[in-house]
A and B are shown apart, each in its own frame.
Chain A
Amino acid sequence: MTTFPSLRAFLFLLLLAAGLVSACDMEQEIEVKLPVLPPQLVVECYLENGQPLRLALSESAGYFDAPQATIVAGATVTITKNNEAPITLKDSVSVDTKNQKVYTHFNRRRVRAVPGDVFTLQVTDKQGRRLTGTTTVLPTVPFDSVGYKFNDKPAQTQEAYLLIRWQDDPAMKNFYRLLTHKKDSSANGIDSEMDAEVNDRLRNGKKISYTTTYRFDRNDILDIKLFHVEENYYNFISSVEDARRANGNPFAQPVNIQSTVAGGFGVFTFLNYETKRIIIK
């Protein structure tokens, strides 16, 4: 809510100007020659208590290359918990159709971790490229309260906002990711209703409140997840969002992706979250 209000206002005016002159065809397709840079490893691995070890390994590609992601085959992938023996993830492509996710490496062993545990990722591919990452398990942060409130419109068109509160730990800098998912009309589909990155910079040790706009309807079934995340994951998510916004914004500076791993792009983190289901009535 606090980012670049003037920029948004200006972009709005620009869009308006662009709309007014759209008949003049002020946007045109052009050819841009991009230098060819070596592809880099891209990893996504989220550890969760009770879940098997799964990882997606791919490569970055030239912007105008074929749109399909390039899967990296034959890489050696190990995950080590604390000082225990490394666990190797097998090269095996699987698809989670419910969540529409693709994994390239798998080990059926389920994750068991407590706050303070440290996991280390090592990836070495056939070309000798090496990617490493570390994550520390944080304690979950419980919800203090989750509620909703309708606006004053007639009952048929009423919408509700969500109010979510939790207590921040004053002893440390904390970073959070708050997600809300709603089942969509298809059998297994899920709609993302809210994705907020929150830090305690102005609220250290206080109760943190997060309020949405009026956007929820009666009978919506919402799953709210409060992730207590590491700073590097928070930075990664923020930089990914900034980089996406920079493309198409004439004033944005280019943004470097702040990966949580070294040797490529991506994220290796332990997901620790509280979840709460709420039905808007």
Chain B
Amino acid sequence: MHFQTQHTHTPWPACRHFFLFFLFLLLLPGLQAKAQDRVSLTGTLRSAASGEVLIGASVAVAGTTNGVETNTNGVYTLTLVPGTYQIQFSYLGFETLTREITLRRNTRLNVELQESASQLKEVVVEAQRNTFQERLSTPQMSMETLSSREAKLLPALFGEVDIIKTLQLKPGIQSGGEGSSGLFVRGGSSDQNLVLLDDALVYNPSHLFGFFSVFNPDAVRGVELYKGGFPAQFGGRLSSVLDVKLREGNRKETDVSGGIGLIASRLTVEGPIQKDKSSFLISGRRTYVDVFTRMINKGKENDPDWSPIPDYYFYDFNAKATFDLGPNDRLFFSGYYGRDYFKFDDENFNFNFNWGNRVASARWMHQFSPRFFVNTTFSASNYEYQIQNQLDIYSFSLTSNITDFSLKSDFEYIASDKHHLRFGGAITDHTFTVGRLESTSQDGSVNENAGNTYTGQEYGAYVSDDWTFSPSFTLSYGLRLSGFVNGGKNFLGLEPRAAASYRLSETLTLKGNYTRMYQYVHLISNSGASLPTDIWYPSSPGVRPQRSDQYTLGLTKLYKDKYLFSTEAYYKKMNHQLDLRDGAQIFGNNELEQEFVFGSGESYGQEFYVEKKDGKTTGWIGYTLSWSNRTFPDINNGKTFPTRFDRRHDLSIVAIQEVSKRVSATATFVYGTGNAFSLPVQRFIFQDVPGEDYTVIPVYPERNSFRLAAYHRLDLGLVLKLRPKRGSSDLTFSVYNAYNRRNPYFVYFETLQEEDSDLITGFVAKQVSLFPVIPSVTYNFKF
């Protein structure tokens, strides 16, 4: 349901439901009273080597299915009747620890796990079983997790590990094209992803026009990507939530690590500020292709036919500091700064283009009691691009930016062993500077300005409960109330969220969920791809918020404790989708809304996934069958058309083979139906007025009615651990596109003409590919 406050008859019923829901929660103390004969065991799990908290680690009562995962603070809470228990703490890559504990009252138990030097089979099996058991029983579905550690094992383009590109190997997640780090989740658009870096929003998560993501794998601990079944604390985007967490840094000793690659190098310094109480991490990386291109340009300085190669580079920095203020309080500061530069200079023409994000957050975690936590986060996020162009006497500059300040509080309350409550609220102040254009000439003959500044306030409040109704039935339900104010217009949206899981047997679970999402800011793109100059635009009296409803039904099956199978069928309906009319002018236009057209979208499909995490051979296979369509009355004559990323079949196979203790070999294979593409079907000759040449004009009858050839590619990788005198190091070899497949990037029609007379002799279709086989090697070190 969506309504606007000026319609006095509509808000009340919606609000009434909201308040009834809160009222229901107030009745929960009854449930809590019942829980008072139970006691809680709580604590923090950390790595013994670095002191960093372990997120998503498993804490279980041995021999039972009673277990929990550590939260984003590494904290676990088990609620049990008093007694003696064997508690098992496990996390992939760490030795499982079993402790006997006698519980009489609420007890705190902090645990440190040793990193497993040898991949002892039983260690991995235990951790995997607990992880798989947790995934079997939780009602949360449509979620993918990936750690930097896993991503670093896999082969990568130019050897540059990219956690987002690795996520594209999971079902339901598609890239924007060859080599792209764009995310198109379950038929959604690229602007429909809520990208969070330590709880702060990142507007443009890519470098180099989308070929690399902004997430430095050395600084990132891991990511969680929600494709559906969104928890109520998330809102503001329709199609996915990408929750990226930075590492906290080593609390025990100072480490320096880094890597030297084909096109970029990385360096990270981390260590304790005060041993075991606080830590810092600073990480940076920079590409250096520009160093070589400048050398080439210098060498060709005297060649009059030489067109200089433009400078291109990007760099980014991540920093994080973590402080334990006491047993119940922790403070976190995180920051990101990144810039891409594209420069071209010659005698008459000077082109400077730079873009990037600045993101910062401060979070205070407070524990009222072992069952009651709050995280309060203040964050700021800015994305901007600047183009400065000097052409003879002209100078031209174009800037656009969006700046957010956000404050949110997230409460977590374990009311009993049956009810796990979350509630909170957030408010964000947006400032949009859209297309600030200045065009002048030295002689003063040209002096033009354009651009607008808008502000908007976005807010949300939510409550949810994970209700373990019985050992076999769990329900997670919640409600989010969101809103947006701009231009005197107040939009409100009610977003119900519900997920349930029912254990059909010890190893088989049936799951389902429904979520509604609202999106109040929109990315204006006239390219069909994500480019740095795409503009963020707020909802306004003329632009309604986007809305989606998604339904998912799935089965999860654990086979021999080794293989986890899951399949999910989904249907997503998207309303108030925004696109640009044909020939829209988005630069230097103060009336941008006149260029917008509105329509709807629909996507549906089924995903299959099987994963194996133990043994010498590990990996996963994902397959997706899907459809993704859009309908706009003003596009394609109102006829429904497939999106460019509509992919009927999508297959990913990832295999990691532990050859020896020092050598791992990896392979990934992807196959996908070719992208939908528009091609002209007819043409005509346009003679034009006297003095102008005739041209061939293509006629496009329908949008995206053709298919490029299928995309398939095999990448191979090898990680060789070296034996340095100090610290550790490895060499990572990658071969991208191992069998040198010419995958289509796009197709165009070429006009063949006689050289002398320019007489047209015919037309041919040409397919352009981007990357042939690309071998690379990266040296990584840590000391």
Give the interface size class of chain A: 35 or more
Q: Does B295 contact A (CB under 8 A)?
A: no
| Partner of A9 from B342, B393, B683, B763 at Cβ < 8 Å | B342
Q: Mark B440-483, 1 if CB is under 8 A from A, else 0.
A: 01010110111000000000000000000000000000000000
- B111-156 residues at the A interface, CB under 8 angstroms: none
- How many whole Å from B383's CB to the nearest CB in chain A? 14
- B266-312 residues at the A interface, CB under 8 angstroms: 309-310, 312
A-B Cβ contacts below 8 A, count: 249
Q: Do A179 and B385 touch across chains, with their CB atoms under 8 A apart?
A: no
Q: Do B441 and A211 touch across chains, with their CB atoms under 8 A apart?
A: yes
| Partner of A31 from B353, B589, B760, B765 at Cβ < 8 Å | B765
Q: Does B703 contact A (CB under 8 A)?
A: yes
A89 CA / B685 CA spacing, docked (Å): 21
A163 CA / B445 CA spacing, docked (Å): 8
Tell which of B250-258, B407-415, B688-696 binds the partner: B688-696
| Partner of A254 from B439, B703, B761 at Cβ < 8 Å | B703
A44 CA / B687 CA spacing, docked (Å): 8
Tell which of B11-19, B239-247, B525-533, B655-663 binds the partner: B525-533
Tell which of A15-23, A105-113, A131-139 binds the partner: A15-23
A38 CA / B684 CA spacing, docked (Å): 13
Q: Do B695 and A244 touch across chains, with their CB atoms under 8 A apart?
A: yes
| Partner of A251 from B310, B529, B762, B765 at Cβ < 8 Å | B529
Q: A26-B769, A192-B692 are in contact. Are A250 and B745 (CB under 8 A)?
A: yes
Q: A16-B309, A67-B760, A202-B590 are in contact. Are A6 and B532 (CB under 8 A)?
A: yes
Q: Which single residue of chain B is at the shortest CB-CB distance from A215?
A: B392
Q: Which residues of B contact A181 (CB under 8 A)?
A: 691
Q: Mark A247-266, 1 if CB is under 8 A from B, else 0.
A: 11111111111100000011
Q: Does B68 contact A (CB under 8 A)?
A: no
Q: Does B391 contact A (CB under 8 A)?
A: yes
| Partner of A255 from B342, B583, B761, B763 at Cβ < 8 Å | B583
A254 CA / B644 CA spacing, docked (Å): 12
Q: Do B768 and A192 touch across chains, with their CB atoms under 8 A apart?
A: no
Tell which of A55-63, A78-86, A117-125 binds the partner: A55-63
Q: Does A126 contact B (CB under 8 A)?
A: no
Q: Do A151 and B765 touch across chains, with their CB atoms under 8 A apart?
A: no
Q: Do A243 and B700 touch across chains, with their CB atoms under 8 A apart?
A: yes
A58 CA / B749 CA spacing, docked (Å): 22
Q: Do B441 and A60 touch across chains, with their CB atoms under 8 A apart?
A: no
Q: Which residues of B contact A219 (CB under 8 A)?
A: none
| Partner of A30 from B449, B703, B747 at Cβ < 8 Å | B747
Q: Does A32 contact B (CB under 8 A)?
A: yes
A46 CA / B689 CA spacing, docked (Å): 8
- How many whole Å from B592's CB to the nearest CB in chain A? 12
Q: Which residues of A contact B672 (CB under 8 A)?
A: none
Q: Which residues of A contact B398 (CB under 8 A)?
A: 2, 5
Q: Which single residue of chain B is at the shortest CB-CB distance from A149?
A: B443
Q: Do B697 and A243 touch across chains, with their CB atoms under 8 A apart?
A: yes
Q: Which residues of B contact A161 (CB under 8 A)?
A: 392-393
A64 CA / B686 CA spacing, docked (Å): 17
Q: Which residues of B contact A195 (CB under 8 A)?
A: 692
| Partner of A69 from B685, B762, B763 at Cβ < 8 Å | B685
A27 CA / B697 CA spacing, docked (Å): 23
Q: Do B351 and A34 touch across chains, with their CB atoms under 8 A apart?
A: no
Q: Do A253 and B765 touch across chains, with their CB atoms under 8 A apart?
A: no
- How many whole Å from B629's CB to the nearest CB in chain A? 16
A27 CA / B209 CA spacing, docked (Å): 21
Q: Do A9 and B587 touch across chains, with their CB atoms under 8 A apart?
A: no
Q: Do A63 and B698 touch across chains, with their CB atoms under 8 A apart?
A: yes
Q: A244-B698, A265-B699 are in contact. Are A35 and B749 (CB under 8 A)?
A: no
A62 CA / B682 CA spacing, docked (Å): 4
Q: Which single residue of chain B is at the shortest CB-CB distance from A177?
A: B689
Q: Do B678 and A32 touch across chains, with their CB atoms under 8 A apart?
A: no
Q: Which single residue of chain A is at the shortest CB-CB distance from B387?
A: A5
Q: Do A101 and B687 touch across chains, with their CB atoms under 8 A apart?
A: yes
Q: Do B312 and A213 touch across chains, with their CB atoms under 8 A apart?
A: no
Interface class of chain A by DSSP: mixed
Q: A61-B684, A163-B443, A213-B391 are in contact. Are A247 and B749 (CB under 8 A)?
A: yes
Q: Does A156 contact B (CB under 8 A)?
A: no
Q: Which residues of B contact A59 (CB under 8 A)?
A: 684
Q: Which single residue of chain B is at the shortest CB-CB distance from A190?
A: B691
A191 CA / B344 CA spacing, docked (Å): 29
Q: Which residues of A contact B437 (CB under 8 A)?
A: 2
Q: Do B439 and A247 touch across chains, with their CB atoms under 8 A apart?
A: no
Q: Do A253 and B697 touch across chains, with their CB atoms under 8 A apart?
A: no
Q: Do A211 and B697 touch across chains, with their CB atoms under 8 A apart?
A: no
Q: Mark B693-718, 1 if CB is under 8 A from A, else 0.
A: 11111111101001001000000000
Q: Do A247 and B765 touch across chains, with their CB atoms under 8 A apart?
A: no
- How many whole Å from B223's CB to the nearest CB in chain A? 26
Q: Do A63 and B528 touch across chains, with their CB atoms under 8 A apart?
A: no
Q: Which residues of B contact A243 (CB under 8 A)?
A: 680, 697-700
- How many whole Å from A228's CB to the nearest CB in chain B? 14
Q: Do B589 and A201 touch across chains, with their CB atoms under 8 A apart?
A: yes
Q: Do B393 and A4 touch across chains, with their CB atoms under 8 A apart?
A: no
Q: Do B396 and A4 touch across chains, with their CB atoms under 8 A apart?
A: no
Q: Do A1 and B209 touch across chains, with their CB atoms under 8 A apart?
A: no
A16 CA / B697 CA spacing, docked (Å): 27
Q: A67-B760, A213-B348 are in contact. Are A3 and B587 (CB under 8 A)?
A: yes
Q: Does A49 contact B (CB under 8 A)?
A: no
Q: Do B684 and A265 touch across chains, with their CB atoms under 8 A apart?
A: yes
Q: A26-B742, A96-B690, A213-B392 are in contact. Are A60 and B767 (CB under 8 A)?
A: no
Q: Do A202 and B692 touch across chains, with their CB atoms under 8 A apart?
A: no
A12 CA / B209 CA spacing, docked (Å): 12
Q: Do B312 and A13 touch across chains, with their CB atoms under 8 A apart?
A: yes
- How many whole Å from B222's CB to the nearest CB in chain A? 30
Q: Does B3 contact A (CB under 8 A)?
A: no
| Partner of A34 from B446, B679, B685 at Cβ < 8 Å | B679
| Partner of B678 from A39, A163, A202, A253 at Cβ < 8 Å | A253
Q: Which among A25, A96, A151, A257 has the highest number of chain B CB atoms within 10 Å?
A: A257
Q: Which residues of B contact A248 (CB under 8 A)?
A: 748
Q: Which residues of A contact B745 (CB under 8 A)?
A: 250
Q: Does B23 contact A (CB under 8 A)?
A: no
Q: Does A155 contact B (CB under 8 A)?
A: no
Q: Which single residue of chain B is at the shortest CB-CB distance from A36?
A: B681
Q: Mark B511-549, 1 if CB is under 8 A from A, else 0.
A: 000000000000000111101110000000000000000
Q: Do B697 and A4 touch across chains, with their CB atoms under 8 A apart?
A: no
A213 CA / B348 CA spacing, docked (Å): 9
Q: Do B443 and A34 touch across chains, with their CB atoms under 8 A apart?
A: no
Q: Which among B355, B439, B441, B531 has the highest number of chain A CB atoms within 10 Å?
A: B531
Q: Which single residue of chain B is at the shortest CB-CB distance from A21?
A: B772
Q: Does B631 contact A (CB under 8 A)?
A: no
Q: Does B394 contact A (CB under 8 A)?
A: yes
A220 CA / B690 CA spacing, docked (Å): 19
Q: Do B682 and A29 touch across chains, with their CB atoms under 8 A apart?
A: no
- How many whole Å from A187's CB to the nearest CB in chain B? 15
A37 CA / B681 CA spacing, docked (Å): 8
Q: Does A158 contact B (CB under 8 A)?
A: no
Q: Which residues of A contact B528 (CB under 8 A)?
A: 251-253
Q: Does A218 contact B (CB under 8 A)?
A: no
Taking Cβ atoms with an 8 Å cutoff, the residues of B that contact A are: 177, 209, 309-310, 312, 342, 344, 348, 351, 353, 355, 385, 387, 389, 391-394, 396, 398, 437, 439, 441, 443, 445-446, 448-450, 526-529, 531-533, 580, 582-583, 585, 587-591, 678-701, 703, 706, 709, 742, 745-749, 760-772
A-B contact pairs, 23 of them (CB 8 A): A1-B439, A2-B398, A3-B587, A4-B526, A5-B398, A6-B387, A9-B310, A24-B772, A27-B766, A27-B769, A29-B765, A32-B706, A37-B682, A58-B684, A63-B698, A63-B763, A64-B765, A151-B392, A161-B393, A211-B393, A243-B699, A253-B678, A255-B700
Known: A211-B394, A254-B680; 18 extra A-B contacts, CB below 8 A, are: A2-B439, A5-B398, A9-B310, A27-B769, A32-B765, A37-B681, A60-B684, A62-B681, A63-B749, A99-B690, A163-B443, A202-B450, A211-B441, A214-B392, A243-B699, A243-B700, A266-B686, A271-B689
